[in-house]
Amino acid sequence: MSAFRLTAPFQKEELAKLRAGDRVLVSGIIYTARDAAHGRFCAALDRGEELPVDLRGQTIFYAGPTPTPPGRACGAIGPTTSVRMDAYTPQMLHYGVNAMIGKGGRGEEVKRAIRETGAVYFAAIGGCAAYMAACVQKLDVVAYDDLGTESVKRLEVRDLPLSVAVDSRGVDAYEQGMQAYREACEKA
């Protein structure tokens, strides 16, 4: 496993160098979107409409930060369970999203879409929402303000700690970990 410093938005060539299990520190621009926003995105795409924010080449963080306290750029912000976005993810990847950030494993259709598009799925550690908020330098609501904490936000982040959960070839770090565990148990 290697460690990388990356600046978002990412180029596909950068993403192709990453391997499942690599650790990364991400700086730059990313966007938040959860279930309700994804539903609206995909409905708009199905109707042939443009999205309210151009997410082609961008990274979506499956998060809805808490209200911003005085003197801070962002309230607590942690990843939500990514499988909740699996029904929408293949369409969003084929639309042009380059990367996703969340927690937990992904389904086979998502991993297939990741391979087809050269995207990457990053995992963030759940339970570290206050720490992750300190990585946010600026937050702006850019779409679906009516969704409150689940509105789409543009974040400027610095050194957001992540791991490559599924690389652009579809190799899954969660599956690798389970296989290594099974092998260790068989040797015991």
Residues 5, 52, 80, 113, CA torsion sign = negative
Q: What gap in Å lies between CA 16 and CA 20, rounded to an integer?
A: 11
Q: Is 38 a catalytic residue?
A: yes
The residue whose two tokens read 């990585």 is 135
Q: Are 93 and 117 in contact (CB under 8 A)?
A: yes
- The H or E element that residue 5 is part of is strand 3-8
Burial class (CB in 10 A: 0-12, 13-18, 19+), 1: exposed
Of the candidates 34, 38, 106, 153, the residue annotated as catalytic is 38
User: Would you name the residues annotated as active-site residues?
Assistant: 38
